A and B are shown apart, each in its own frame.
Chain A
């Protein structure tokens, strides 16, 4: 932006935050313990508040929220109160709030707040900040195909457009969009619209489940003559969903060593789901709970055994023992699925060799 101060052209840039999919009051992964779920729930609220603190500390007076601030169709009064209080307590920040598919009209209505600016469903709403125009429209089943044609932005302005949903980027080409602030996808993504503009999904602010792995945060925009932006990791914890191959592990010790080696760079504040993969030989027991216990220093750990039992049936062809008869009997029984065969053999091996069964 250019301003003339004492006959001298001075260029100013404006910083803003683009976030989305905060999902206040969200339901969390059912695998979490009650305590973990409570901590994460409170951290979602806390991180949203800290994002506003970040804005205050960095002189940011504009926060774009591209949908799904609330998670449920009817957010609780407490969640809404929390949100509205934060907005009211920061009157110097404009909160541009575009509703998403989770932000349905709740029964609890707050009186109009001057610095909370919303968008309409049936027409494009524009807010002007000097040379910067911030526009947006709520996508609904009624307008999801037609809204593209309504977009008409001035060429001589910096145009930021807000949408929530999976949009057709091709339909947005040559619409004079400099930055398309998107919400709906829960991971940061960016790309070009055309020669002029770029699009970006900020991703969710905090990961909640194993479908929201990776770093989470928001986008900081520096809007001057053009729009520069970058993703800022902000969530306290990261969720990891790891497939770890433990082929060759002969016991729990080997497994633990392999897992610890793979996870050595991951801080204990994070949430891990470890999928054990690979082929294990007969007699190798995997007890998910034992491994979870070994890695219990992590904020949350879930271990899933997806290993294959490495049984070569031909090895048992000439086996004259009970075990040989047992293995051959299972394998030749077509009433069992492959998984059932593996489980039965595993259980049978344990039972016949005097080991503890699951």
Chain B
């Protein structure tokens, strides 16, 4: 089997990438070049890519989906069994379902390699391919001899790196142990369930008897109920008769009571109205007697009546007289008021003011005439002066001016000068004249002011003073006249008052009321007269009433006696008792009637035609009996229900039993199968080892001999893949080997395995920088070995450092 070439459309970072394979192909590039991508691409061509699922972690499909998009896939050309194959794959972004695969065999499409060409070509699955064909530093790196042994087993057995058949067997045994414990538990459970079910079944079987008994009890209970109901019905009828008879007996008792009362009334029962009349009469008599006692006039009243009679024995005034006296008193009082009013001094303020001017005497006529004449003259002159608009002072000034002007003109024009002088002189004369009159008036005025001062009038304006003086004189005169008239009236009223007082004093003397105020006296007389009349009427009326009452009482007593006589009732029986007897008879009679009606209705309603002859059963006994049977029935019913409840779990227990038995059967089968499994795995392991150990050992020895030069020591393997090395003639355990040497041993085992697994056509091998732990000396030797192997096996070698390159760092 040999890879020829590959073409990558898009895969990871590669795009439109081609590569031609040789027997030994080396790619020595820095990290990130895409060596692992190439390894993944080759694997994907043979085995495809896993689908991306929600639960999938970061897988190759996700990892190598082209960064820049585009067609995801490519092709791989290889030789196999003498034919040239080309695998063309396009991958979907997520699911393998949408992937496409075309296989060409010598340029013709073929399906002979199936859906997974890797399986058909290498005979191993994808995981085995990864373990065997693709070798990296991690897979080759082993540290102990036991690891080597284990790894070799794993390679042989096609299981995971950490596979350990002993552990597998152990885990199966543990599972078996778990199952056995469960089986034991289920055995116990089944046993207990069977016991429980048997118990339940026993209870259920016993229920048949209880059901029968329940039916019997139910019948007895129902019969008892029927009997009780029948007896109860009879009892009801008897009870009704009893009630009826009770009512009738009551009626008879009442009738007897009526007859007993009637014995006291041999001549019949008085009518209700008659009793009411007698009662009324009795009440009246009592009332009358009370009135008789209460009707007498009091001693005080009589004494008062007599006193008043004496007081007015001589003269009894009548109302008209009283009225006239009252009028006279009124007149007297009014006169008194008038006198009082006239007596009171009521000099007015004005009079008092005028008295100050005139001192109670009016001025004589001369004075006033003189004053008036002088004043009129003065007024005339004053008025004249007032008519001249120019005052004397003005005129003096004008004359002075004129004289001055005239004097001046004397030196200019004499004529004019003289004229002005003359005119000025004239004006001066007039001015002097006016000054004289003015002085004269002032003297007159002073005289008049003095005259007014005599009467205590002051002021400058003579007109005003004069006007005031004249008015006051007139007013004062009127006031004096009025006062005189008042004095005359007072004298007249005093005379009238004396006359009335005399009349009134004479009148009240008749009743010995001369020292009492007139108004009070007349009121006392009026009161006395009213009281006297009232007392007179009272005394007379009381007498009349007393006589009437005595007559009425006698008459009423007579009527009562007649009543008792009429009905032959003993005098000892009070009318209240008679009434009570009558009421009782009436009540009893009504009651008898009502009860009789009730009895008849009760009889009719309850159909009591004829009293039954049977005697009532003991209902209480029957009821107790019925209750007992009910109780027995209910008790048993409850017991059955409880048992039914108890065995209601029977179904559940049966279900559990079914489940448990089914489960146990399954576990039993499992236990047997676990034994078979252990046996079969053991057998397979043994067969595998028998088949592959010897050849592998031979091959290992072959490679170990080759490696002896590398390791520097002879390496051997026993039948259990245990590795030893010969050091100084002594076999030592591989534990004494260095890590690098152990890696080389591991490579030998893998090569030996591949040789044995692929005898006819060896697959290629991908070495992804596996010798990281080797020093340069060992590395060189290993490289030499690998190079020599590449003649027999195609090797694809990746490294990331020139030191591990066949072409750069090593001599190939």
Q: Quick check: B681 and A348 within 8 Å, CB to CB?
A: yes
Whether A32 is near chain B, meaning CB under 8 Å from some CB there, is yes
The residue on B at minimum CB distance from A358 is B670
Residues of B within 8 A of A348 (CB): 677, 680-681
Q: Shortest CB–CB separation between residue B427 and chain A, in angstroms? A: 151
Q: Quick check: B688 and A325 within 8 Å, CB to CB?
A: yes
Whether B648 is near chain A, meaning CB under 8 Å from some CB there, is yes
Q: Quick check: B651 and A27 within 8 Å, CB to CB?
A: yes
**Per-residue B-contact encoding for A212-224, CB less than 8 Å = 1, 0 else:** 0000000000000
Whether B673 is near chain A, meaning CB under 8 Å from some CB there, is yes
From A77, A325, A340, A351, give the contact of B641 (CB < 8 A).
A77
Q: Shortest CB–CB separation between residue A83 and chain B, in angstroms? A: 15
Q: Shortest CB–CB separation between residue A176 and chain B, in angstroms? A: 40
Stretch at the interface among A101-109, A115-123, A126-134, A289-297: A101-109
**Per-residue A-contact encoding for B447-475, CB less than 8 Å = 1, 0 else:** 00000000000000000000000000000
Whether B55 is near chain A, meaning CB under 8 Å from some CB there, is yes
Residues of B within 8 A of A107 (CB): 207-208, 210-212, 214-215
Residues of B within 8 A of A330 (CB): 680
Q: Shortest CB–CB separation between residue B404 and chain A, in angstroms? A: 153
Q: Shortest CB–CB separation between residue A343 and chain B, in angstroms? A: 6
**Per-residue A-contact encoding for B160-183, CB less than 8 Å = 1, 0 else:** 101101001001100100000000
Q: Quick check: B123 and A319 within 8 Å, CB to CB?
A: yes
**Per-residue A-contact encoding for B195-238, CB less than 8 Å = 1, 0 else:** 00000000000011011101100100010000000000000000
State A251–B50 Cα separation when bound (angstroms): 13
Residues of B within 8 A of A357 (CB): 171-172, 175
Residues of A within 8 A of B676 (CB): 336, 340, 344
From B53, B158, B757, give the contact of A322 (CB < 8 A).
B158
> In chain A, residues 338-358, which have Cβ atoms closer than 8 Å to a Cβ of chain B?
340, 343-344, 347-348, 351-354, 357-358
Whether B684 is near chain A, meaning CB under 8 Å from some CB there, is yes
Q: Quick check: B156 and A322 within 8 Å, CB to CB?
A: yes
Query: Given A74-B211, A323-B159, A358-B670, are A351 and B677 neighbors across the interface (CB < 8 Å)?
Result: yes
> In chain A, residues 219-261, which have Cβ atoms closer than 8 Å to a Cβ of chain B?
250-251, 253
Residues of A within 8 A of B157 (CB): 321-323, 352
Q: Considering only CB atoms and an 8 Å cut-off, how many residues of chain A contact the other chain?
A: 46
Whether B63 is near chain A, meaning CB under 8 Å from some CB there, is no
Residues of B within 8 A of A85 (CB): none
The residue on A at minimum CB distance from B638 is A77
Q: Shortest CB–CB separation between residue A67 and chain B, in angstroms? A: 21
Q: Shortest CB–CB separation between residue B216 and chain A, in angstroms? A: 10
**Per-residue B-contact encoding for A299-318, CB less than 8 Å = 1, 0 else:** 00000000000000001001
Stretch at the interface among B516-524, B536-544, B654-662, B767-775: B654-662
State A108–B681 Cα separation when bound (angstroms): 64
From A76, A78, A315, A326, give the contact of B680 (CB < 8 A).
A326
Q: Quick check: A325 and B644 within 8 Å, CB to CB?
A: no
Q: Quick check: A344 and B680 within 8 Å, CB to CB?
A: yes
From A30, A31, A250, A320, give the contact of B692 (CB < 8 A).
A320
Main secondary structure of the interface of A (DSSP, over half): loop
Residues of B within 8 A of A322 (CB): 156-159, 165, 681, 684-685, 688
Whether B128 is near chain A, meaning CB under 8 Å from some CB there, is yes
Whether B640 is near chain A, meaning CB under 8 Å from some CB there, is yes
Q: Shortest CB–CB separation between residue B416 and chain A, in angstroms? A: 158
Whether A149 is near chain B, meaning CB under 8 Å from some CB there, is no
Residues of A within 8 A of B648 (CB): 76
Q: Quick check: B158 and A323 within 8 Å, CB to CB?
A: yes
State A357–B177 Cα separation when bound (angstroms): 13
Query: Given A322-B157, A323-B157, A351-B171, are A78 and B644 neighbors across the interface (CB < 8 Å)?
Result: yes
Residues of A within 8 A of B654 (CB): 27, 30
Query: Given A31-B659, A348-B677, A348-B680, are A320 and B158 neighbors across the interface (CB < 8 Å)?
Result: yes
Question: Most chain-B CB neighbours within 10 Å: which of A34, A315, A319, A351?
Answer: A351
State A296–B531 Cα separation when bound (angstroms): 123
Q: Considering only CB atoms and an 8 Å cut-off, how many residues of chain B contact the other chain?
A: 56
Q: Shortest CB–CB separation between residue B437 and chain A, in angstroms? A: 148
Residues of A within 8 A of B674 (CB): 347
Whether B683 is near chain A, meaning CB under 8 Å from some CB there, is yes
Whether B557 is near chain A, meaning CB under 8 Å from some CB there, is no
Q: Quick check: B757 and A108 within 8 Å, CB to CB?
A: no
> In chain A, residues 30-82, which have Cβ atoms closer than 8 Å to a Cβ of chain B?
30-32, 34, 37, 74, 76-78
Residues of A within 8 A of B757 (CB): 320
State A357–B51 Cα separation when bound (angstroms): 25
Whether B637 is near chain A, meaning CB under 8 Å from some CB there, is yes
Whether B731 is near chain A, meaning CB under 8 Å from some CB there, is no
Q: Quick check: B160 and A354 within 8 Å, CB to CB?
A: yes
State A29–B676 Cα separation when bound (angstroms): 34
Whether B124 is near chain A, meaning CB under 8 Å from some CB there, is yes
Q: Quick check: B123 and A76 within 8 Å, CB to CB?
A: no
**Per-residue B-contact encoding for A2-34, CB less than 8 Å = 1, 0 else:** 000000000000000000000000011111101
Whether A89 is near chain B, meaning CB under 8 Å from some CB there, is no
Whether B79 is near chain A, meaning CB under 8 Å from some CB there, is no
Question: Most chain-A CB neighbours within 10 Å: which of B51, B128, B644, B670?
Answer: B644
State A27–B647 Cα separation when bound (angstroms): 12
Whether B652 is near chain A, meaning CB under 8 Å from some CB there, is yes
State A353–B680 Cα separation when bound (angstroms): 15
Q: Quick check: B208 and A340 within 8 Å, CB to CB?
A: no
Whether B687 is near chain A, meaning CB under 8 Å from some CB there, is yes
State A319–B676 Cα separation when bound (angstroms): 21
Query: Given A322-B688, A333-B680, A347-B677, are A78 and B641 neighbors across the interface (CB < 8 Å)?
Result: yes
Q: Quick check: A320 and B123 within 8 Å, CB to CB?
A: yes
Q: Quick check: A32 and B655 within 8 Å, CB to CB?
A: yes
Q: Shortest CB–CB separation between residue B173 and chain A, in angstroms? A: 11
Question: Most chain-A CB neighbours within 10 Å: which of B53, B156, B684, B757?
Answer: B684
Q: Shortest CB–CB separation between residue B180 and chain A, in angstroms? A: 14
Whether A191 is near chain B, meaning CB under 8 Å from some CB there, is no
Query: Given A27-B654, A344-B676, are A352 and B644 neighbors across the interface (CB < 8 Å)?
Result: no
Whether B54 is near chain A, meaning CB under 8 Å from some CB there, is yes
Q: Shortest CB–CB separation between residue B411 and chain A, in angstroms? A: 161
Q: Quick check: A109 and B680 within 8 Å, CB to CB?
A: no
Whether A329 is near chain B, meaning CB under 8 Å from some CB there, is yes
> In chain B, residues 44-76, which have Cβ atoms closer than 8 Å to a Cβ of chain A?
51, 53-55
Whether A324 is near chain B, meaning CB under 8 Å from some CB there, is yes
Q: Quick check: A351 and B128 within 8 Å, CB to CB?
A: no
Whether A168 is near chain B, meaning CB under 8 Å from some CB there, is no
**Per-residue A-contact encoding for B598-637, CB less than 8 Å = 1, 0 else:** 0000000000000000000000000000000000000001
Q: Quick check: A353 and B123 within 8 Å, CB to CB?
A: no
Residues of B within 8 A of A251 (CB): 53, 55
The residue on B at minimum CB distance from A254 is B53
State A343–B163 Cα separation when bound (angstroms): 22
The residue on A at minimum CB distance from B757 is A320
Excluding A108-B215, A352-B159, 13 further A-B contacts by CB distance (< 8 Å) are: A27-B654, A77-B637, A77-B644, A78-B641, A108-B211, A253-B55, A318-B123, A319-B158, A321-B124, A322-B681, A325-B688, A326-B684, A340-B673
24 of the cross-chain contacts (CB-CB < 8 Å) are A27-B651, A27-B654, A28-B655, A29-B655, A37-B655, A74-B207, A77-B641, A107-B210, A109-B218, A251-B53, A319-B158, A320-B123, A320-B688, A320-B757, A325-B684, A325-B685, A325-B687, A328-B684, A329-B680, A340-B676, A348-B677, A352-B163, A354-B160, A357-B172
Interface residues of B (CB under 8 A from A): 51, 53-55, 119, 123-124, 128, 156-160, 162-163, 165, 168, 171-172, 175, 207-208, 210-212, 214-215, 218, 222, 637, 640-641, 644, 648, 651-652, 654-656, 658-659, 670, 673-674, 676-677, 680-681, 683-685, 687-688, 691-692, 757
Interface residues of A (CB under 8 A from B): 27-32, 34, 37, 74, 76-78, 106-109, 111, 250-251, 253, 315, 318-326, 328-330, 333, 336, 340, 343-344, 347-348, 351-354, 357-358
List the 9 closest A-B pairs by CB distance, nearest first. A107-B211, A321-B158, A322-B157, A30-B655, A325-B684, A326-B684, A27-B651, A76-B644, A30-B658
